[in-house]
Amino acid sequence: MSPGTATWSNSIPEESAPWTYNRLVIDLDNDSPRSAPAQLAALRTWARAALDLDATITVMVTELTCMEPGCPPLETVVAVMLPQGASWQFKRHKPAADFDADDRARLVEAWRRR
């Protein structure tokens, strides 16, 4: 497996039949540019304020490696976990550290249109 790859398997090894299992393999030796934890925290704090969310709402900012052909190598996801199990996501194909005023305006606009 090359650096930064992940695979998902629903295969059933001969020795475990008739039991089934799922397996996710992630290679953490990823050379994609990552934002510093402080940059992720700053974007999360900004999103909470910009979307006018109170402290009871969970906001997560994560950077994910894209494995699809032709996909940019890194995607930032801002996720808001709403009451009763609902959630909302905003995605950009760039590191969180590269979020600019345009990205932030798009995030707020997408939130308003939800």
Q: Where are the domains of the chain?
A: 1-31, 33-113
Q: Residue 34, Cβ neighbours under 10 Å: how many? A: 15
For 39-86, how does the pLDDT look when each residue is reduced to its tens digit (9 = 90+)?
A: 999 999 999 999 999 988 999 999 998 777 888 888 999 999 998 889
DSSP code of residue 106? H
Pick the CATH number of 33-113 from 3.30.160, 3.40.50, 1.10.8, 3.40.1440: 3.30.160
Q: Percent of the chain, pLDDT > 70?
A: 71
Dist. CA 24–CA 6, nearest whole Å = 7
Global pTM? 0.70
Q: Is the distance from CB of 59 to CB of 80 less than 8 angstroms?
A: yes
pLDDT (0 to 100) of residue 19: 42
pLDDT at 11 over 50: no
Please report which confidence band the pLDDT of residue 35 belongs to, taking 50, 70 and 90 as the band edges: confident
Q: Residue 6, Cβ neighbours under 10 Å: how many? A: 14
